[in-house]
Structure 1
């Protein structure tokens, strides 16, 4: 095996401009009914307070017209609530955009106050008219309307953050499951039974011909792989340097088995951040796929080329081989499917995973993930 380590310039990368993920807005009909029930309860509370005030003050209760006015107001705001939830999701009060969005929400609050006044104009004739001019009624209700908008937006944020927390917990549970599958795959699939058998058989052959040093190297390399896999068994992400170390050790063991039939080139860009976080055991299945389908299936020597670059806030991991290509042998398998699922769980839409034919033949496995440093997340 020939092993070359070299710095490479950044390759041409696909332009990516992923927008920051925004909170999702989804209101079910049952939730709409709950909103109307909640606002009806608010109206009932206000009417009860007015009744008690009239009772203990020796004054007559205003009557059914007053009840109708209150219910009209709270039900109108119940109709306003779903759009307010949408505005809260579209313009969240998050760090970095909080001041701008506060200004927008202040404008939205005034807008809903105007809509509330419009409700008075529409329903007023049906309820016996209303007192005062439009301006007087607008300013008389302005404080309670702005307060109501702020309360709804605050509740909307609480609901959305609760949903986000629940989804995060679900993703973490799914990630733990995927990590467990990845660890088992490293011991059962990626450190495959036939790989273990072939390695041990090669060790026995080397011992028979008294190539003791080569046999020891293979056993030590195999032991190191198992040790690293177990050491990082609980890690969802590891620093890039650790993942590269595991991939190099795996290639060294395979290189002893294939001898001169396996050529390996590892290109790590000079400015590649080795403390960048990558999914644990992300490179090994890509390398194993390249060896199994690009080298093992042919008699001539084969090349496995691993590249690490970054651009535009994305880390780029690329593994190529000069074998028959993915369409020729229908490359699939548990390792690649598992890799695709783990990337989706970890990064959602902010990742790219492609297995395609290379321009000059062979196959190209490409992974692009957001560039995040381990030190920044510590």
Structure 2
């Protein structure tokens, strides 16, 4: 209960303290200016008395105005949401506060001895120009402060909404990446198990056991790579070579792949996990599974300015479809590249008598 009351009174106490300090400082400067003017004019005066007059006559009414108006706008910020509301507030200032301020100042100066209507009229004419500048200036300054604070709060709210939106988008993209990877890893596992099952059906149990050991090593890499969002092209190349060792247990000497351009640069180029395996597995499936001869799969790494090209090609027959094998593996690879970097891409299609899958990886982050 006490804590809640404290939090409610804290903004009001801050307004009172700031307003009192501000107008006290203005009174000190105003009294000093009056004292200086009196000295130059040869008028005897006392600075403490001038300070008291300045504070009581000018500062006290404006402190009250500042506190009341600031408290009202803090509690009801919609009071200045529309121009007509501001006009209404200014009308209250003119019709209520200004006469009250004149009466206060006239009482402090001993001018309220009114014997006739003429005396009242003369007093009104005398006070008509008193306090207008300071009162309207205070009113305008308070409104400007609250307009600025509202604009600042809207800007901060907009920034928070943008940050929340970006965080949400990032979370969605990460979930999408995980979903794509969850689709891809069973796909890889299914093809690896197919290679081992072919050995089991062939009755070669020692070779099948060796294949299981190779698969265990591959799965160990998949699990470690899946813990992060990126790996390196060099690590992916080693994984593909191990994957091909497993597939050779099934295809034998028919499985042949030539690698060109593998150098130290590949250690520095980031890429999504399981980037190369779908491309190589796609080449295997649409060459060795469709022909009886040896494969002619080529994997090349080519640097072009600030881009690394990763190109996987394999022969296609004359009766093959225009885009053979562009299925789940390649589609997922393309989506994961786009999520990793906006300039990374995958293109795949038939070029003459070969099917070409080409990845473009920016090198800016690797230099």
Q: Once the two structures are superposed, what CA deviation does each residue of 1:224-281 show, in whole Å capped at 9, x if it has no partner?
A: 1111112222322222222222222112211222111111122234352413210111
| Alignment match of 1:238 (pick from 231, 238, 241) | 231
d(CA) in 2 for partners of 1:351, 1:191: 26
d(CA) in 2 for partners of 1:310, 1:338: 24
Q: Once the two structures are superposed, what CA deviation does each residue of 1:173-213 show, in whole Å capped at 9, x if it has no partner?
A: 233233233234322x1222x541332331564636xxx4x
1:81-92 mapped onto 2 (5 Å cutoff) = none
- For the pair 1:294 / 2:293, whether they are aligned, the reply is no
d(CA) in 1 for partners of 2:79, 2:339: 38
**CA 1:215–1:195: 2 relative to 1, 3 Å:** closer
Q: Report the alpha carbon displacement of residue 39 of structure 1 after superposing the two structures with TM.
A: 12
d(CA) in 2 for partners of 1:311, 1:164: 36
- For the pair 1:221 / 2:249, whether they are aligned, the reply is no
Moved more, 45-54 or 242-251: 45-54
- For the pair 1:311 / 2:351, whether they are aligned, the reply is no
- What 5-or-longer segments of structure 1 have no aligned partner? 1-37, 61-143
Q: Secondary structure at the match of 2:99?
A: coil
**CA 1:167–1:302: 2 relative to 1, 3 Å:** same
1:207–1:215 Cα contact (<8 Å) kept: yes
TM-score normalised by L of structure 1: 0.54
d(CA) in 2 for partners of 1:196, 1:344: 29
Query: Which residue of structure 2 aligns with residue 368 of structure 1?
Result: 360
Query: Which residue of structure 1 aligns with residue 334 of structure 2?
Result: 340
Q: Report the alpha carbon displacement of residue 165 of structure 1 after superposing the two structures with TM.
A: 4.7
- For the pair 1:57 / 2:56, whether they are aligned, the reply is no
CA RMSD of aligned residues (A): 3.9
**CA 1:196–1:154: 2 relative to 1, 3 Å:** same
1:294–1:322 Cα contact (<8 Å) kept: yes
Query: Which residue of structure 2 aligns with residue 280 of structure 1?
Result: 273
| Alignment match of 1:327 (pick from 321, 344, 354) | 321
2:225–2:273 Cα contact (<8 Å) kept: yes
Q: Secondary structure at the match of 1:285?
A: helix
d(CA) in 2 for partners of 1:175, 1:235: 11
TM-score normalised by L of structure 2: 0.56
**CA 1:324–1:293: 2 relative to 1, 3 Å:** same
Count of aligned pairs:
248
Q: Once the two structures are superposed, what CA deviation does each residue of 1:75-106 show, in whole Å capped at 9, x if it has no partner?
A: xxxxxxxxxxxxxxxxxxxxxxxxxxxxxxxx
- Rg larger for: 2
1:272–1:310 Cα contact (<8 Å) kept: no
2:322–2:349 Cα contact (<8 Å) kept: no
**CA 1:50–1:344: 2 relative to 1, 3 Å:** same
